[in-house]
Structure 1
Amino acid sequence: MYLLFVYEDDGSVMRSVPRIHFLDELKRAGHTLIIFNPLEYPDVEQFNEALAKAAGTVPVDLMVSLHGDELVRPETVVQFKRRGIPTLLFCFDNLQAPYMQRQIASLFDLVWLSSFETMPLFKSWGCTCIFLPYAANPYVFQPRFTTEIPTVGFIGTPYGTRVMKINDLLKGGVPCSLYSDYLLSNSSSEIIRTTSKNKRLVRIDPNDWNLIRFPIGRRILWSKVKKKITPHPQLLESDLLHIHSSVSLEEMNCLYSNFALSLGITEVWDTYLLRTPVHKIHLRTFEIPMCGGLQFAPYLDELAGYFEDGKEIVLYRTKEEYIDKAKFYLRSNKGSERRIMKINARKRAEQEHTWTNRFNNVFKIIFPHHSTRARS
């Protein structure tokens, strides 16, 4: 199948997710990919002119946009529809930023939401939606079992809820390993370990005003306000805390495979300050098990539906259970059980949570009779 992707790729790690995750996997599945990168054009207008022209000159079975109306103009989408080319809008951050696609979402034949909570909002705009969570590329994220690391491991910058979760483990006597250059910088360390002073009480960014317009957004906005009047969580200094530098993708795979437990964080932004935080399933949710890692995360009905607690993942419901389960699964005599659970997690991820599976679900809706437009 010929798939045209609108994808702004500057070659950075931050923009590499589509390339590493699903573009690579779709190529391996035999699809031909045509990438339209806005950064290769002088301005947005010229990019849209070229994209609209492609609707009539390039053999395409499906146009997929990974961006909203900041890059893709409504009239450009219309050109594909006039040519009879199906269109798909893939919304990565629809949970906390649905209005990024507001102006063009309803023009697409199908809108793919990675979080189900804002589906009513998109439907109110006249969109045809499908909810499919993230996934992981089984060719990139693979088990690399070596010597097990007998700690709870986390890769990424510790802030907010991450700091609080790690501190709870340290207070409970649970060893933790953190991988982040942020912690190895004196200036960054001071930011984490001290409370900022002389800040404005509340600073609302212009982009935050859209948060007022939907329920989850209002909870996120309230958490930002609370953050301004709440002391920042400070990462504890402890002999149980092992700090390392940031790692490459290959090294990350190996670490996820070999951490006894890999910490999964689901709270969105500053909502850990709320009585009921807003939770979101992240890419990490599927990367860890695809690497053969044993994920340790808060209980969510959605997450429990993807991996079976006690067999493929470790889930906790309370702070007490969080500490108890960490200690239980870190026991030295649980090594064989951990390995079995890790293998089970990889099998489940490989069977159900690949990008090929996700896109095939999309194709079934867009191409119900398996007919495609482009020629080989």
Structure 2
Amino acid sequence: MHLLFIYEDDGSVMRSVPRVHFLDELKRAGHTLTVFNPLAYSDVEQFNEALAKAAGAVSADLMVSLHGDELVKPDTVGRFKQRGIPTLLLCSDNLQAPFMQRQIAPLFDLVWLTSFETMPLFKSWGCTCIFLPYAANPHVFRPRFTAEIPTVGFIGTPYGTRVMKINDLLKGGVPCSLYSDHLLNAPPSGQAIRTPSQNKPLVRIDRGDLDLMKFPIGRRILWSKVKKKFTSRPQLLESDHLHIHPSVSFEEMNRLYSDFALSLGITEVWDTYLLRTPVHKIHLRTFEIPMCGGLQFAPYIDELAGYFEDGKEIVLYRTKEEYIDKAKFYLHSNKSNERMNMKINARKRAEQEHTWINRFNDVFKAMSLHHTRHHTRS
């Protein structure tokens, strides 16, 4: 099929997810892609004018927008619909920021949500929705097994929940490997390593906070934000069990996921680790780690347990005590064969079920799209 994507790509690593993940996979599957990048135009108005013209000039089977109200105008979506071209809005931040697409979402033929919790909200706006979680590109995220690293590994800047989770492991005598330039640049400070602050000096209510008040998950996130203002920021403990390394390249990240004995998975959203019942979210690394042949170590949530089988393809824990006990159990030297078998199982499950082409095929099926579609032109 010919797919037209609206995708703001500045070439940075932060904006590379669509390009690396599903655009690459769709091309490999034989689809033709046309990408409209808003950054190639002087302003939003010029971009929408060019996009509206493309609706009449490009023989596309589907228009896919990765952006909402901030870039795509309602009239532009209407232009595609007038030309008989189906439209899809992919909302990857719909759990904590659904109102980013409030005005434009109902205009699309289908809205793809990567978190199911806010589907009732989107439906109340008149949207036709499908829930499909993230996935991982099996051609990019591949097992690269070398020498196993006998620790719990984490790649990225530690703050908030991440620091608390790592500190719990260190207190329990569990070896941890962290890959972050920030930690190497941090000056010594006694018993703790300074981690970046996510706090602002005052509790301020902005437009985004007002939106959070409008739905249940949002109110929990907002309450955690308020609580954080009155809670001391967790600092990473200094410990003989802590091994700090520089940040790594994308390719090296893949190898590390393959080689960590256990790869730490964090699912708590923002500051909700401060709540009695945190809000959890499935992230990209939830699927990147197993696609790399990594053994993910994460909190038990029903959704995640439905994607990978605990004790066979992933290690899940329900309590702090179980967190420490399972870390020690699976890091034991006599568990190396079991770890490798679980890694192989995780890759197999990810490759069979959690690819982007599988997700898009579900979208195509929901929209009754086929390679031989014909359009009505006016």
TM-score by length of 2: 0.96
CA distance in 2, matches of 1:324, 1:300: 18
Matched, 1:116 2:116: yes
Q: Are the counterparts in 1 of residues 263 and 297 from structure 2 also a CA contact under 8 Å? A: yes
Task: Give structure 2 stretches of 5+ with no counterpart.
Answer: none
Structure 1 residues 194 and 72: alpha-carbon distance in aligned structure 2, compared to 1, 3 A threshold: closer
CA distance in 2, matches of 1:343, 1:321: 24
Partner of 2:156: 156
Partner of 1:169: 169
Q: 1:168-203: CA deviations, max 9, x gaps?
A: 00000000000011111236989963797x964412
Structure 1 residues 194 and 251: alpha-carbon distance in aligned structure 2, compared to 1, 3 A threshold: closer
Partner of 2:21: 21
Q: Are the counterparts in 2 of residues 91 and 112 from structure 1 also a CA contact under 8 Å? A: yes
Q: 1:58-112: CA deviations, max 9, x gaps?
A: 1100000000010000000000000000000000100000000000000000000
Partner of 2:225: 224
Partner of 1:364: 365
Q: How does 1:164-313 map to 2 (within 5 A)?
A: 164-186=164-186, 193=194, 200-313=201-314
CA distance in 2, matches of 1:210, 1:370: 40
Shift of 1:205: 3.3
CA distance in 2, matches of 1:38, 1:3: 17
Tell me which amino acid in the other structure corresponds to 2:13. Answer: V
CA distance in 2, matches of 1:143, 1:225: 42
CA distance in 1, matches of 2:56, 2:179: 48
CA distance in 1, matches of 2:195, 2:132: 40
CA distance in 2, matches of 1:311, 1:229: 41
Q: 1:125-181: CA deviations, max 9, x gaps?
A: 000000000000000000001100000000011000000000000000000000011
Tell me which amino acid in the other structure corresponds to 2:333. Answer: S
> Number of matched residues?
373
Partner of 2:36: 36
Tell me which amino acid in the other structure corresponds to 2:118. Answer: T
Aligned-partner SS, 1:213? coil
Structure 1 residues 84 and 350: alpha-carbon distance in aligned structure 2, compared to 1, 3 A threshold: same
Aligned-partner SS, 1:166? helix
- Higher alpha-carbon deviation: 304-313 or 177-186: 177-186
Q: Are the counterparts in 2 of residues 182 and 188 from structure 1 also a CA contact under 8 Å? A: no
Aligned-partner SS, 2:89? strand
Shift of 1:217: 0.6
Q: 1:218-243: CA deviations, max 9, x gaps?
A: 11111111000000011000010000
CA distance in 1, matches of 2:187, 2:222: 28
Identical aligned residues as a percent: 83
Partner of 1:50: 50
Q: 1:304-355: CA deviations, max 9, x gaps?
A: 0000000000000000000000000000000000000000000000000000
Matched, 1:130 2:135: no
Tell me which amino acid in the other structure corresponds to 2:337. Answer: S
Tell me which amino acid in the other structure corresponds to 1:308. Answer: E
Q: How does 1:1-20 map to 2 (within 5 A)?
A: 1-20=1-20
Structure 1 residues 371 and 206: alpha-carbon distance in aligned structure 2, compared to 1, 3 A threshold: same
Partner of 1:100: 100
CA distance in 2, matches of 1:7, 1:368: 21
Shift of 1:257: 0.2
Partner of 1:67: 67
Task: Give structure 1 stretches of 5+ with no counterpart.
Answer: none
Q: Are the counterparts in 2 of residues 192 and 233 from structure 1 also a CA contact under 8 Å? A: no
Q: Are the counterparts in 2 of residues 160 and 270 from structure 1 also a CA contact under 8 Å? A: yes
Q: Are the counterparts in 1 of residues 193 and 237 from structure 2 also a CA contact under 8 Å? A: no
Q: Are the counterparts in 1 of residues 89 and 105 from structure 2 also a CA contact under 8 Å? A: yes
CA distance in 2, matches of 1:128, 1:214: 19
Q: Are the counterparts in 2 of residues 64 and 89 from structure 1 also a CA contact under 8 Å? A: yes
Tell me which amino acid in the other structure corresponds to 2:359. Answer: R
Q: Are the counterparts in 2 of residues 182 and 189 from structure 1 also a CA contact under 8 Å? A: no
CA distance in 2, matches of 1:259, 1:90: 32
Tell me which amino acid in the other structure corresponds to 2:278. Answer: P
Structure 1 residues 112 and 199: alpha-carbon distance in aligned structure 2, compared to 1, 3 A threshold: closer
